[in-house]
């Protein structure tokens, strides 16, 4: 009988994508992805600790908390929590302390089970299991100091959060900030949910409070809450006269703050400085609150700013996170991929465009995320859109989000005016280059048809252009919308003007030399002129 067979011998053929993912996970186990190395300092747990945690953990009792298991011979079986099924193909071996699903190919040990089911990093899972098994978590001596400092910094951030938060709801002190937030349409519930705060205008209000509570001011400086006075002793408050947006990690720890200026203070948005506990490129604002809904819906929406996330939450859209102004980083993409493989970018129209041309969006695709772009009406960020036009329109824009390729084609077409056949040829070339990365022939065929349609040229022309470009450039990777083509276009237009218009020619002679033209042909013509 099937169940009598040793499941670890009878391996089901693993799907290739699982295999690739498994290999990636294994490779990542001891690298920065899992947070074992931070700030260039090893924070490895002491020797044999992981082994001890593994030995002292009971796989069957852990899995039983998530999946009802039934005894089957010397193993246990149940319904797989990682794919939907009606007959159990999920087996747990108490003897080997391993689990395996014959349906979807998932499998592993006690660490990988907890990582997968709770969306944890390896280190997070190991710590949780240590606690369960009553194993004392100890680090190597070299990382002990770092661990202690990290704990201390989190406590300082906790203190700062409550201080800022109390300010906001203090009748006298918080009046200004509170009325600003109310004017922007926020209600008290959402302000509480995001633990918003207010930094007073004074240069030493947080400083004094921290002193009173006995915190080390140098710790506050490490976190960017204070700055050292230049040329003299002492510190001053970094966040002044600002609405405060606390940034929490997925374990609900306060890692940093964003502050929006309420007066003339520059910059308009100020963030905590990078520290042992805060790395902006690895943080997503709102993920602590949004992660469950993102997992549930299988979709994350990425916006630019704090207010965009808060507006979405206030109107019941709770699968939204912010990349905090900067273009999305590979680390942020990886962080998101723990919860979903589908992402919709809802940046301000200009930023999304810049991201696309800087290959910022390709980065998401390369993190194995399916990326779409919601095209917002000109001049509206998600915050304004949701508040002014309502959540219905937001839903529609997310639903109608364009695939990355569609979006890039639109971008090319909207940025270039097609006046003549030559313009059309150039645009066609740029579009064909966008299609270069498509491996699936059916998808490619669809896009070639679409491109021909949108350019109003014969489909065969687009196809032969694609073939031509492939031959002439071989495997050389050309940048999307390379700056050269733009430069060339300007030069061509200028030359055109110089030929047609005598005044323009005279003006040009005063300003430029023939050698300023980058294109050799253009240079020759300019020399003749
Ligand atoms: Zn399964």
Q: Which two tokens stand for residue 136?
A: 């004392």
CA of 70 to the centre of ligand 1 (A): 16
- Which has more confidence, 325 or 64? 64
CA distance 50 to 55: 9
- Which has more confidence, 507 or 273? 273
CA distance 215 to 152: 9
**419 close to 441: Cβ distance less than 8 angstroms:** no
Q: What is the pLDDT of residue 39?
A: 32
Classified as helix, coil or strand, 471 is helix
CA distance 518 to 512: 12
Q: End-to-end distance of the chain based on CA atoms, in angstroms?
A: 90
pLDDT average, residue stretch 399-421: 86
Closest by CA position to 193, among listed 246, 156, 229: 246
pLDDT average, residue stretch 153-165: 97
CA of 280 to the centre of ligand 1 (A): 35
CA of 201 to the centre of ligand 1 (A): 56
CA of 242 to the centre of ligand 1 (A): 49
CATH 2.60.410.10 fits 2-133, yes or no: no
Give the number of other Cβ atoms within 10 Å of residue 458's Cβ.
Answer: 10
**Interface ipTM > 0.90:** yes
From residue 60, alpha-carbon distances to 76, 99, 117 in Å are 8, 9, 14
* Domain chopping of the chain, boundaries: 2-133, 141-278, 282-407, 416-481, 484-528
Q: Considering only 122-126, 200-204, 223-227, 455-459, which range has the smallest mean pLDDT?
A: 122-126
CATH topology of domain 141-278: DNA primase DNAg catalytic core, N-terminal domain (3.90.980)
Q: What is the pLDDT of residue 433?
A: 87
Residue 5 has pLDDT above 60, yes or no: no
**pLDDT tens-place string over residues 44-88:** 566 678 888 888 898 999 999 888 999 999 999 999 988 888 899
CA of 92 to the centre of ligand 1 (A): 12
Q: What is the pLDDT of residue 435?
A: 87
CA of 22 to the centre of ligand 1 (A): 14
**364 close to 371: Cβ distance less than 8 angstroms:** yes
pLDDT above 90 covers a percentage of the chain that reads: 43
CA of 6 to the centre of ligand 1 (A): 17
CA of 321 to the centre of ligand 1 (A): 29
pLDDT average, residue stretch 377-391: 91
Closest by CA position to 145, among listed 235, 19, 39: 39
CATH topology of domain 282-407: Dna Topoisomerase Vi A Subunit; Chain: A, domain 2 (3.40.1360)
CA of 366 to the centre of ligand 1 (A): 25
Q: What is the pLDDT of residue 187?
A: 96
Residue 271 has pLDDT above 90, yes or no: yes
| Bridge partners (DSSP) listed for residue 342 | 370
């Amino acid at each position: 009988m099937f169940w009598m067979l040793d499941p670890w011998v009878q391996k089901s053929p693993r799907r290739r994508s699982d295999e690739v993912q498994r290999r990636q996970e294994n490779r990542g186990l001891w690298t920065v992805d899992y947070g074992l190395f931070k700030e260039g300092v090893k924070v490895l747990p002491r020797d044999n600790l992981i082994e001890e945690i593994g030995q002292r953990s009971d796989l069957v009792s852990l899995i039983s908390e998530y999946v009802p298991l039934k005894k089957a011979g010397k193993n246990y079986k149940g319904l797989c929590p990682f794919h939907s099924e009606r007959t159990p193909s999920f087996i747990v071996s108490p003897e080997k302390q391993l689990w395996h699903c014959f349906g979807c190919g998932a499998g592993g040990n006690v660490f990988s089970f907890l990582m997968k089911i709770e969306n944890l990093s390896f280190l997070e899972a190991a710590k949780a299991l240590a606690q369960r098994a009553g194993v004392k978590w100890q680090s190597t001596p070299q990382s002990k100091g770092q661990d202690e400092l990290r704990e201390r910094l989190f406590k300082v951030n906790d203190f700062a959060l409550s201080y800022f938060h109390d300010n906001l709801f203090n009748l006298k002190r918080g009046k200004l900030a509170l009325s600003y937030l109310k004017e922007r349409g926020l209600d008290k519930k959402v302000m509480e949910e995001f633990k918003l705060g207010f930094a007073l205008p004074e240069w030493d209000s947080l400083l004094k409070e921290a002193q009173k509570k006995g915190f080390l001011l140098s710790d506050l400086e490490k976190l960017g809450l204070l700055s050292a006075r230049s040329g003299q002793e002492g510190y001053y408050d970094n966040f002044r006269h600002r609405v405060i947006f606390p940034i929490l990690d997925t374990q609900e720890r306060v890692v940093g703050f964003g502050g929006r200026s309420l007066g003339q203070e520059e910059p308009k948005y100020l963030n905590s400085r990078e520290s042992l506990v805060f790395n902006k490129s690895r943080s997503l604002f709102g993920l602590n609150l949004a992660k469950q809904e993102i997992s549930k819906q299988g979709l994350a929406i990425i916006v630019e700013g704090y207010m965009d996330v808060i507006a979405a939450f206030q109107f019941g859209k709770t699968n939204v996170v912010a990349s905090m102004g900067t273009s999305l980083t590979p680390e942020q993409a990886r962080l998101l991929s723990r919860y979903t493989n589908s992402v919709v970018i809802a940046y301000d129209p200009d930023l999304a465009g810049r991201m696309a041309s800087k290959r910022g969006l390709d980065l998401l695709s390369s993190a194995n995320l399916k990326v779409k772009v919601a095209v917002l009406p000109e001049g509206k960020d998600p915050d304004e859109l949701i508040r002014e036009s309502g959540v219905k329109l937001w839903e529609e824009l997310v639903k109608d989000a364009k695939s990355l390729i569609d979006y890039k084609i639109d971008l090319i077409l909207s940025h270039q005016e097609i006046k003549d056949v030559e313009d059309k040829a150039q645009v066609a070339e740029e579009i064909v280059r966008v299609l270069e990365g498509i491996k699936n022939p059916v998808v490619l065929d669809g896009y070639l048809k679409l491109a021909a349609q949108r350019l109003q040229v014969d489909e065969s022309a687009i196809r032969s252009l694609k073939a031509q470009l492939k031959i002439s450039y071989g495997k050389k990777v050309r940048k999307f919308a390379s700056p050269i083509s733009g430069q060339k276009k300007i030069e061509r237009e200028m030359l055109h003007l110089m030929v047609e218009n005598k005044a323009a020619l005279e003006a040009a002679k005063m300003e430029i030399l023939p050698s300023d033209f980058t294109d050799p042909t253009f240079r020759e013509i300019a020399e003749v002129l």
